[in-house]
Structure 1
Amino acid sequence: MSNPDRPGPGHHHPHDSAHPDWEVLGPHLERGAELYTPLYEQVADWLREPATGAPGPGSGGVRRVLDIGSGPGVVSCLLARAFPDAEVVAVDATEALLERARDRAVRLGLGDRVHTHPAELPDGLDALGGADLIWSSKALHHIGDQRAAVAALAGHLRPGGLLAIAEGGLAPRFLPRDLGIGRPGLQSRLDAAGEEWFTEMRAALPDAADETEDWPAFLADAGLRTPRTRSFLLDLPAPLSAGARAYVVANLTQARDMYGDRFDEDDLATLARLTDPEDAAGITRRPDAFFLSAQTVHTARAQ
């Protein structure tokens, strides 16, 4: 599972290949984050609600925001607009993505408030300083010891500051159960293969900790209080826009490349047809393709 800039099949992003081609993946990640923008606008509104204890956008209470695992900075810029008195620091290990973040901020007139910081997670965070809001989406699950990673982020909160972690939710759905081609239930088999791949990825991480992924408990263990959890829906009904269709095709292609060896010949043939732009049964042309996803966000506050 990845940052909002990095959603993929089952919310797992393409950052995990051994030698990623950022010339290809950077635009894909940016398009994905743009697709998810309506969802993350809802999240930003929720983070500003008085019920969360967060100061409103006009109060000036949020002066510094860290976006940990920012990717190409789509959400960093969104947070800059949501908290207009704040400096936003996009933090990522990949300089090519931070370059995209800087370019985007300048394009949107936010270059004076959105800055970048190259850092590996979690060991490279010491120089970041404090923040009133720390946001991290689908990045911490790429760290072996997730509990320790949450504690490391919590250590950068200013008094009363809010830590918001987007992890979990529901994997995207975009296919009818019976596609009219191949064996029904391909979406479920895609999800299962993605979960198997993700479990193996986690097990291979340095210092991988085998423990229940209880994010509110991780927040509490880090000494934070007033935990809140909420899930947000992205509902793009059929017929999809051309951009959304292209994003689904890219995700299906990514799934086939990353864990295609888990599918039988029938499913591989179906995936080939779904990703063929000339096939009437493919995502590019079929009228019933949709995009439905949910993202869960966990928050808690420093003393």
Structure 2
Amino acid sequence: MSNDTGHGHHHDSGHGHRHESGHAHHHDPADLDWDAIGPLLEQNAELSTGQYTAAARWIAGLPDAPEVRRVLDIGSGPGVIACLLAEVFPEAEVVAVDGTPALLERTRDRAKRLGLGDRVTTLHADLPGDLARAGEADLIWAGNALHHMGDQRAALAGFAGLLRPGGTVALVEGGLQPRHLPRDIGFGRPGLEERLDVIQAEAFEQMRADLPGTKRETENWAALFCAVGLAPQGTRSFLLDLPAPLTDVARDHVIADFTRRRGGLGDRLDAEDNAVLDRLTDPEDPAGLHRRTDTFLLMARTFHLGRKA
């Protein structure tokens, strides 16, 4: 199961919506208010830039790694990671590949603001069908994107087909689900977040089942790399550890996350847990997330690398 907190709209409530948020990322994009969602995705991804920067530097420092001249960021969301990759790989062109024009526009605006407009470009593409249009690359970065494709093995083979000799696929899949609160928050039954995890896992399975052409796949990423002709290059997890008290930006992220979960999972929760979520998201409740002093953000993302001979 994958954590979706921090990259584009496929990936994370920061790349945006979490799976428990009602799967907004599978709705018709025209139905969504991207003017409201885009800034949230961008802000959420920015919270995780330390994780992503550390991972990108790990990739850049691999023994015998070829020079990276072209990068594809698959499912790029608002472009936070694409711009970060352009900074870590200063000789590379980075192509942000996404299916939502509004997010690609945010990517272009961000790149221009950061002085990266000449090296960060965008490609509007429906994935995985339009993958071939992305062209060759030395690095393909897929942050919590592969599990949104029904036939993951075929999609990974498509990634492999675009790699130049010596090129790398970096999959962000798995890790540890976020924690934000103590086990016992002083009201309701202890263990709220663990119960939400169970429901999220069920929602994730339903999301996978509803994808076009979905196929069950053992999530042994090293074995899948081998199956599509790539050599596994290692797996590492990177921690996001924001202790209490949180900054205002991080607190806003947590509040938005719980608000989404209240809206997206409420019909799967019992009355007591719904009442707890109502209190947690109430700005006036002294025990709510707006005022608690013990709210934190702790999570891990796992990166799996495969290289083309």
What TM-score, normalized by structure 2, do the two folds share? Answer: 0.92
**Which is further off, 5-14 or 224-233?**
5-14
RMSD over aligned CA atoms reads 1.6
Q: Please list the CA deviations of residues 117-155 of structure 1 after superposition, one character each: whole Å capped at 9, or x if unmatched.
A: 000111101122111111010111111111111111111
2:206 to 184, 197, 200: 200
CA separation in 2, counterparts of 1:38 and 1:283? 24
1:132 to 135, 138, 157: 138
Q: 1:96-107 counterparts in 2 under 5 A?
A: 96-107=102-113
Runs of 4+ in 1 over 6 A off after TM superposition: none
Q: Please list the CA deviations of residues 57-78 of structure 1 after superposition, one character each: whole Å capped at 9, or x if unmatched.
A: xxxx111000000000000000
In percent, how many aligned pairs have the same letter?
Answer: 56
**Which is further off, 37-46 or 16-25?**
16-25
1:234 — aligned with what?
A: 240
Q: Secondary structure at the residue paired with 1:155?
A: helix
1:186 — aligned with what?
A: 192
CA separation in 2, counterparts of 1:45 and 1:102? 23
Contact 1:170–1:294 (CA under 8 A) maintained in structure 2? yes
- The residue type equivalent to 1:95 in the other structure is P
Unmatched tracts of structure 2, length 5 or more: none
Aligned residue pairs: how many?
297
CA separation in 1, counterparts of 2:202 and 2:17? 11
Q: Please list the CA deviations of residues 3-43 of structure 1 after superposition, one character each: whole Å capped at 9, or x if unmatched.
A: 62342399537423453321222111111100111111111
Does residue 15 (structure 1) correspond to residue 25 (structure 2)? The answer is yes
Does residue 164 (structure 1) correspond to residue 170 (structure 2)? The answer is yes
Does residue 54 (structure 1) correspond to residue 65 (structure 2)? The answer is yes
Does residue 44 (structure 1) correspond to residue 56 (structure 2)? The answer is yes
Contact 1:10–1:172 (CA under 8 A) maintained in structure 2? no
Q: 1:263-282 counterparts in 2 under 5 A?
A: 263-282=269-288
Q: Please list the CA deviations of residues 196-218 of structure 1 after superposition, one character each: whole Å capped at 9, or x if unmatched.
A: 11111111111111221222222
- The residue type equivalent to 1:277 in the other structure is P
Q: Secondary structure at the residue paired with 1:50?
A: coil
- The residue type equivalent to 1:39 in the other structure is Q
Does residue 76 (structure 1) correspond to residue 88 (structure 2)? The answer is no
Contact 1:132–1:162 (CA under 8 A) maintained in structure 2? yes
- The residue type equivalent to 2:184 in the other structure is D
**Which is further off, 242-251 or 210-219?**
210-219
CA separation in 2, counterparts of 1:194 and 1:226? 29
Contact 1:65–1:87 (CA under 8 A) maintained in structure 2? yes
Q: Secondary structure at the residue paired with 2:253?
A: helix
Q: Secondary structure at the residue paired with 2:306?
A: strand
CA separation in 2, counterparts of 1:231 and 1:10? 21
Q: Measured at CA, do residues 10 and 171 of structure 1 come closer, stay the same or move farther in structure 2, by a change above 3 Å? A: farther
Q: Measured at CA, do residues 11 and 299 of structure 1 come closer, stay the same or move farther in structure 2, by a change above 3 Å? A: farther
Unmatched tracts of structure 1, length 5 or more: 56-60
Q: Measured at CA, do residues 239 and 165 of structure 1 come closer, stay the same or move farther in structure 2, by a change above 3 Å? A: same
- The residue type equivalent to 1:116 in the other structure is T
CA separation in 2, counterparts of 1:185 and 1:226? 37
Task: Give the drift of 1:219.
Answer: 1.2
CA separation in 2, counterparts of 1:16 and 1:33? 19
